[in-house]
Chains A and B, each alone.
Chain A
Amino acid sequence: MGLTITEKILRDHSNEKNASAGDFILANIDKCLANDITAPIAINVFKEIIEGTDRDVFDKKKIILTPDHFAPNKDVASAEQCKVLREFAHEYNIENYFEQGRVGIEHCLIPEKGLALPGEVFIGADSHTCTYGALGAFSTGVGSTDLGVAMALGKCWFKIPQSIKFIYSGRMKEHVSGKDLILHTIGQIGVDGATYKAMEFTGEIIDHLSMASRFTMCNMAIEAGGKNGIIPPDRITEAYLNEKHKVNYKKYISDKDADYFDIIEFECSDLEPQVSLPHLPENAKPISEVDAMRIEIDQSVIGSCTNGRLEDLRVVAKILKGKKIAPKVRCILIPGTPEIYLDALKEGLIEIFLNAGAIVSTPTCGPCLGGFMGILAAGERAISTTNRNFVGRMGHVKSEVYLSGPAIAAASAIKGYITSPDYI
């Protein structure tokens, strides 16, 4: 019996040369990541482990620290958290500590910096670490205890997951992106539809899908309960990596006779842009239905580790160009990293946003987790390109978040209710 890409990567990172799905392994990790919320606890765990010894971190190059959630420091408490990261990074000469101003939203920043590569085992104390599966890595979220141990030993234990293969066929309509594919998928299988499983995305649509859309899809694997999302590396992955970094990596692909827990096919030629209604990502509906509901919005948030990339901003700029944000709507645009921000500036996108009456924020998680920079009041409604629409996620427990891709969020910002650029 053949193996899936996920099985192969994990097996090759352990001493169990015959391991496959269902087996437990202790894996050598290639990179580990924590942010201003999770690193302080992990750092305590690390210090408890090495106390009284002259032990160092397992590898100064392989630990990544990103103060991105409540940064630039939103208050005294967050300033203290960020300070813990900074001091630890300097004490241990952590190479990949990103100071504010150079940091971006972690899951946008890390691929951009070439810090996640095909074939790697990547763990992060953040549930959306599954994003880097888009590059053909095994990448997953863990707890702070796991991360503290990883910083000391460079190892993490796993049960090798079974995989579900998703096959996307047909031709996507205009304004349909990776976000719509994944919202539709979660809508079909539910928020626990892939619990514990690897979600392997394949098919002719994936073969032609941009890296930005691939990141978006893998990013939301966790919203279906998945352990990891993964797309076997191909020429699109290679082109992306070659453009940015000349690096070596190992490419894995699934065997033809690999054993899958399930195989699910979606024919996407008729797929419309999707909107997930409150309060679960699985409440996905086609835009034609949602448009008919005339759902008025107070805010449109475009950014986050799901949709804060240059491609997303370009889509938005095309729709906002020469238009005005609806009088009672706040439209907040958050480029994912300083580099994306700068590229958007050079391309004239930022000017388009500001002329339309939008707010352009420095890269941060901000409103995505109800942190700051765009909190909702009671009764307010937002359309958002983020990944979670749980109760109170963006502010007051009586506020509402609707999830969509950038095209819908931009069109809705102009109209004041949830709609599609196709209807403007």
Chain B
Amino acid sequence: MKGKVIKYDQNNINTDLIIPARYLVNSEPKFLAEHCMEDLDPEFNQKIREMHLSIMVGGSNFGSGSSREQAPLAIKTAGIKCVLAPSFARIFFRNAINIGLPILEFADLKEVNTGDELEINFEEGKILNLTLNKEFIIKQMPAFLHKIISSEGLIKYARKQVLNN
């Protein structure tokens, strides 16, 4: 996949920053997306739309805090196609994969900036920064996690399995 970066150079971007608890009363994905990241960056949605950004880059321990599945859902619905960070909190990682949002561990934060265009090859574990013309090797996404992602989430993946046999 290809896309442009929106970067937050900050560790511990927790689920309260991603989607504040005050919005959990409504589980409509579009509603959640509108308020995604608003306490950290009120212009998150506007930037994504106007600059056509779709790859989110954050600091380590991304997604810490509560187990709310609404956090990755808000990010995904806002139009983000992939999240890169040096490390993710355990349940956020699970939830992101389960709802079909690819997330990858990527440590070279200095090598990408907001607006850079990246090309990500999940199978080969490669990230190419087209703007800087630099390539990075990352850990490959395990084949079946990739299958879950490309099925748009665990429920649809499981449904496919059921229908196929």
Contacts and interface: CB of A to CB of B under 8 A. Distances in A.
Interface residues of B, number: 22
A4 to B, nearest CB: 18
Contacts of B158: 49, 149, 152-153
B94 A143 contact: yes
B155 A145 contact: yes
Interface stretch (B40-48, B75-83, B112-120, B140-148): B140-148
A143 B96 CA distance: 12
A160 B100 CA distance: 20
B22 interface: no
Interface SS majority for chain B: helix
Contacts of A49: 155, 158-159, 162
Contacts of B15: none
A227 interface: yes
A49 B93 CA distance: 22
A409 to B, nearest CB: 29
A209 to B, nearest CB: 27
A263 interface: no
Contact of A55 (B90, B94, B145, B162): B162
B95 interface: yes
B69 A152 contact: no
B127 interface: no
A195 interface: yes
Contact of A143 (B91, B148, B161, B163): B91
B163 A53 contact: yes
A143 B144 contact: no
A109 to B, nearest CB: 24
Nearest to A151: B158
Contact of B155 (A23, A26, A48, A55): A48
A153 B154 CA distance: 11
A225 B89 CA distance: 10
B162 A146 contact: no
B81 to A, nearest CB: 21
Nearest to B147: A26
Interface string A128-152: 0000000000000011011011001
Contacts of B144: 24, 26, 157
B114 to A, nearest CB: 29
A213 B163 CA distance: 46
Nearest to A52: B163
Interface string A21-49: 00110100000000000000000010011
B80 to A, nearest CB: 20
Contacts of A55: 162
A146 B90 contact: no
A148 B67 CA distance: 17
Contacts of A51: 159
Interface residues of A, number: 24
Given A55-B162, A143-B95, A145-B98, A227 B90 contact: yes
Interface in A225-268: 225, 227
Given A49-B155, A152-B162, A143 B145 contact: no
B105 to A, nearest CB: 10
Contacts of A195: 89-90
Contacts of B148: 157
Contacts of B91: 143
A127 to B, nearest CB: 8
A196 interface: yes
A149 B155 CA distance: 7
Nearest to B95: A143
A157 B144 CA distance: 9
Contacts of B90: 195-196, 225, 227
A148 B94 CA distance: 14
Residue with the highest number of chain A CB atoms closer than 10 Å, among B69, B94, B145: B94
A247 B144 CA distance: 34
Contacts of A23: 142
A145 B95 CA distance: 9
Contacts of A48: 155, 159
A50 interface: yes
B147 to A, nearest CB: 9
Nearest to A196: B90
Top 10 closest pairs, chain A to chain B, by CB: A24-B142, A149-B158, A49-B158, A196-B90, A49-B159, A145-B98, A26-B144, A55-B162, A149-B154, A152-B158
Interface of A: 23-24, 26, 45, 48-51, 53, 55, 142-143, 145-146, 148-149, 152-153, 157, 159, 195-196, 225, 227
Given A24-B145, A50-B162, 19 more contacts: A24-B144, A26-B144, A49-B155, A49-B158, A53-B162, A53-B163, A143-B67, A143-B69, A143-B91, A143-B98, A145-B69, A145-B98, A146-B94, A146-B154, A152-B158, A153-B158, A157-B97, A157-B148, A159-B93
19 contacts: A23-B142, A24-B145, A26-B144, A49-B158, A49-B159, A50-B162, A53-B162, A143-B91, A145-B95, A145-B99, A146-B154, A148-B155, A149-B155, A149-B158, A153-B158, A157-B148, A195-B89, A195-B90, A225-B90
